[in-house]
Amino acid sequence: MRSAKIILNIGGMTCAACANAVERSVKKVDGVSFAVVNFASEKLTVRYDEDITTVAAIKNSVDKAGYSASFEPAPDETPRLKKDCVLAALFCVPLFFIAMFSMFAPGELTINVTAVCHKWIAFAELILCTPILFFGRRFFTVGFKSLANLSPNMDSLIAIGTSAAYIYSLVEIIVELPHPTPHSLYFESAGVIITLVSIGRYIEARAKKTTGDAVKTLLDLSPKEALVIRNGEEIIMDVQQIKAGDTIIVKPGGVFPADGVILAGETSVDESMLTGESLPVEKKAGDPLIGGTLNKFGKVLYRAEKVGGDTVLAKIAELVENAQSSKAPIARLADKVSLYFVPAVASLAFMSAALWLISGESFPIAMKIFIAVLIIACPCALGLATPMAIMVAAGLGARFGILFKNGFAIETAHSVNTIFVDKTGTITEGRPRIAEITPCNGFSADDILRFAAACENGSEHPLGRAVMEAFAAKGESIPSAEGFTALSGFGVRCTTGKTAVLLGSKKLMAENGVEISQNLENEGKTLIYMALNGMFAGALTASDTVKPSSRIAADRLKALGIEVIILTGDNSSATGAAAKTVGVEKYISELTPAEKAEIVRKARESGKRVAMAGDGINDAPALAEADVGIALASGTDAAINSAGIVLMKNDLLDVALAIELSRRTVRNIKQNLFWAFAYNTLGIPVAMGALHIFGGPLLNPMIAALMMSFSSVSVVFNSLRLKRFKPDAAII
């Protein structure tokens, strides 16, 4: 089996029923294991077996359902929709006034209007209505095609309703020739319905365009051209032509076109567009660069290592787009309703019209009820309720440096009540630093640091790097060392000149007969002991600094009603000190990766909604086990791949922000669903004549069209309100 995944842009969809029709058609293809359509983003995600089926077969199944499928983005239909709206309105306005004049003109004037005038009014309505239906022809081509495929959608309802009104009116003119009367005609209903729905679609399309701004903004960060050194010459070329290994020159004020490493030069880089961090980051030779970030001051030569779709920027854009295209669990309810909604509405329309005829009402009254029921029913609002909010939230999260991988993560995070947090690299900086040097037996702090640097030169161990960073600050050259021996788990041994150096743990000193002359135990910190020529010389104290924002983050999470528990493989002393610093009461230390995952699993089984935040390979099992895994972008690929949320700023405070955004999003979705369901629950009975039974008015089909369009537009604009979300003013 060769599993593959593709994402196709779907054209021609107008409501959630369309999305369901595409899904059903694609799922029937042999070899397709998964197919989901996001109506708001108009994307189809398919997983299939390449040994069984092909992309062409999948596209063909979409075509058979009456829609188009392409890897290329669908053309922007907003200009066409605008043009159709304007042209339809030009004919609709005079049509409406002519029809209303004949209905509401003063009695004396109506009496004086001759049969000839009636005839010309009727023909004027026919002449004005016909081009409106032409400008709205897409409703008929799509609607009747979907009906023929036994997958009726909203366009099918509009097509049936307006066609019935138009054909009935046309028959009335023919039957009543040579003197038709405009009072029994429904040309104005058909024309106004098409015009109003077209205007609603245009407003909806314009608003929906803004939901994709997040991805577009990210991709626009990358420059279009770059200055590259090829064969000793400086060449300006399109960024698409850059290859890994190319040397690129970026001047002050320029944008780095690819990910890479600085070869020469020093500068400050503004990474705020990706991480949200406002302060520029100092960069020098050997430091990494992220494509799309801004070179603030110095001229830099750097080597491109990741280009095109492999850059951090491209992968972030892909994550955001995937999240926007995914389907959240809460959307299943709307999908189930939409699946049966259109056939049910059509049945209700026929049934209500028949019952009114049986009860003795006239055919025109039954016709009005039939059309009103078809037009007012709108699965569009139901279909848009969830994906619109998810799309806005995914884009908004990216702006704050929070990447939601899918709609499931956005929705699930809102219910989290317990969060397990890794210590090293999550609560702390993850980089030990030399905080203190304690000399003994006549040795100096400079002696200890100098000999320690000689032992740790070139070491990849975190403590070794901490020693080298501390020595580098002195600006001295590193003493040469010989006879270097790494003692796994204990320390190192080497000789510098005539001095034998032993550097490592307390146990290492004891095993080599070195007597430690004073108590140097320091709670929560790591001690690196040193002996010179067999004599105890002192110790370096290393500590992993707690991030300044970790305490604020813990307080914020607790304020949200979330229990915070630290899980770590570190020792109890260091963990306790970190927990005390950030104000967390519960912590479990000295855990293996499997034990972390087991604790998370048991918490879930006890009924808790669990999130796990971490950055290391040892956190990956626990991240995967949690309801929501939250990984820091600076972490390992294993951690990031196991998580549903990635924090670009590597800041625990963004965990609280992600949960706040999730809660606001789910609240927005519930509002959308409430209004969509409430609209249909109340609107359909009124259209069926529920008020007329008690002597009330019938719902005019034109008013039904206005209400139908308003319901979809209101859902879109309510979702766009999420863009007002502010981290410091979030309502929980």
Q: Is residue 357 part of a domain?
A: no
User: Quick check: is 147 in a domain?
Assistant: no
The closest alpha carbon to 540, from 568, 485, 501, belongs to 501
Do 655 and 630 touch, CB atoms closer than 8 A? yes
The CATH number covering residue 303 comes to: 2.70.150.10
Identify the domain containing residue 59 by its residue range.
3-70
Distance CA 46, CA 57 (A): 12
- DSSP states of 189-244: HHHHHHHHHHHHHHHHHHHHHGGGHHHHHHHHTS-SEEEEEETTEEEEEEGGG--T
- Is 16 contained in some domain? yes
DSSP code string of 387-453: HHHHHHHHHHHHHTTEEE-SHHHHHHGGG--EEEEEIIIIIEEEEEEEEEEEE-TT--HHHHHHHHH
Average pLDDT over residues 483-509: 83
Which residues contact residue 628 at a Cβ distance below 8 angstroms, ignoring those fewer than 6 apart? Answer: 409, 412, 413, 416, 610, 611, 612, 644, 645
Looking at the fold, whether 518 and 556 belong to one and the same domain comes out as no
CATH number of the CATH domain containing 65 = 3.30.70.100
236-289 per-position pLDDT tens digit = 998 888 888 999 999 988 899 999 999 998 888 887 666 555 567 888 888 899
Q: Is the pTM of this model over 0.75?
A: no
Query: What is the per-residue pLDDT for 108?
Result: 46
Q: Which of 14, 666, 43 is nearest to 325 (CA)?
A: 43
Residues listed for the chain = 732
At 70, which helix (H) or strand (E)? strand 68-70
| Mean pLDDT over each residue of the chain, to the nearest integer | 83
- Model confidence pLDDT, tens digit, residues 298-356: 889 999 998 887 887 787 777 777 766 666 677 666 666 666 777 888 888 899 999 99
In which element (H, E) is residue 36 found? strand 32-38
Give the best-scoring range by mean pLDDT among 108-117, 214-223, 641-650.
641-650
- Last-in-domain residue among 255, 287, 310: 310
Q: How many domains does the chain have?
A: 4
Structure confidence at residue 729 (pLDDT): 45
- On the question of pLDDT at 562 being above 70, the answer is yes
Position 177 confidence tier, pLDDT thresholds 50, 70, 90 = low
Angle at 514 between CA 509 and CA 518, to 5 degrees: 90
Cβ–Cβ < 8 Å for 511, 493? no
334 or 12: whose pLDDT is higher? 12
Asked whether residue 565 carries a pLDDT value surpassing 90, the answer given is yes
Q: Is residue 532 pLDDT above 90, yes or no?
A: yes
Dmax (CA) for the chain in angstroms is 125
- What element of type H or E holds 319? helix 312-325
120-160 pLDDT, tens digit per residue, is: 788 888 999 999 999 999 889 888 888 887 777 778 888 88
Q: Cis link prior to 701 (omega < 30° from 0)?
A: no
pLDDT reading at 387 higher than 50? yes
* Residue 20 to residues 76, 232, 332, 501, 681, Cα–Cα distance (Å): 23, 57, 11, 72, 22
In the structure encoding, which two tokens stand for residue 594, read together? Answer: 């499997």
Query: What is the reported pLDDT for 178?
Result: 63
Indicate whether 295 belongs to any domain: yes
Question: Exposed, middle or buried: residue 311 (CB in 10 Å: 0-12, 13-18, 19+)?
Answer: buried
CA separation for the pair 433, 189 (Å, rounded): 77
For residues 516 and 561, state if they share a domain: no
In a domain, 623, yes or no: yes
Domain boundary among 279, 310, 341: 310
Residue 185 has pLDDT above 80, yes or no: no
Residues 534 and 628 in one domain: no
Answer for the pair 5, 58: CB distance below 8 angstroms, yes or no.
no
Domain boundary (20, 35, 70) is at 70
Q: What is the pLDDT of residues 50-91, one digit of tens each?
A: 989 999 999 999 988 888 899 887 777 888 889 998 999 999
Of 548, 577, 580, 583, the C-alpha closest to 563 is: 583
Nearest to 188 by CA among 84, 102, 62: 102
Q: What is the 3-state secondary structure (H, E, C) of 588-655?
A: ECCCCHHHHHHHHHHHHHCCCCEEEEECCHHHHHHHHHCCEEEEECCCCHHHHHHCCEEECCCCCHHH
| Lowest mean per-residue pLDDT among 610-624, 629-643, 705-719 | 629-643
Of 422, 544, 570, 619, the active-site residue reads: 422
Whether 422 is a known active-site residue: answer yes
